[in-house]
Amino acid sequence: MTLICVSGFIVNSHIASFWVAANEQQHNLLDEIHLTFPALSAGTTLIVDGQCRYHGPATVFESNWDLEGALKLLYQDNTIRANIITPDIDINDDGIRIIGSGVQNYAFENLFIYNHKEKKAYPIKNAKDARQYFEMINPNYKVNCKDGRPGFGEPIYKIKSFVVR
């Protein structure tokens, strides 16, 4: 029985370590964004590229609701819109559509892509700018992250009988 209890403690501690690291990644990303944009004008849309949505089972920033909420608090501005690049993105003449935890559409008005790896912001004024950005920087809309999914993150254990599909 002691072995089972100790095993459970070790597994839970291991899983918890991912949440601690994800929290650090959240704060680092927000600090970088704030250094790049000391102020954001009302109605700014910020789309983050180059940041994994998950660190193991832990969420870093998964979708518009968490990243946008964090930026609204940081800048004290409820008009800010934000999201994180997912592999399912569509660029059209009206704006950028991102499918993550729901479908979000972003007009090109006052829109920036912040590239986490380069620590650089790109103003995106139209579909041509958006296509050029992705052709040059991220042609497959990938961030070289493990496959994760909402509510589960990235798998860390390969135990088939416990995998939820």
Residue 160 confidence (pLDDT): 64
Question: Is residue 139 over pLDDT 70?
Answer: yes
Give the mean pLDDT of the chain: 89
pLDDT digit string, tens, across residues 14-66: 778 889 999 999 999 999 999 999 999 999 999 999 999 989 899 999 989 99
Q: Contact 133/72 with Cβ under 8 angstroms? A: no
Residue 154 confidence (pLDDT): 83
Amino acid making up residue 103: V
Provide φ and ψ at 97, rounded to 5°.
-115, 125
- The CA-atom distances, in angstroms, between 41 and each of 81, 140, 163 are 11, 30, 45
- Containing 27, the helix (H) or strand (E) segment is helix 2-36
| Of 120 and 160, more confident | 120
Residue 163 confidence (pLDDT): 55
Pairwise CA distance, residues 104 & 68, whole Å: 12
CB neighbourhood size of 127 (10 A): 15
Give, in degrees to the nearest 5, the angle at Cα 10 between 9 and 12.
Answer: 65
Q: Contact 84/47 with Cβ under 8 angstroms? A: yes
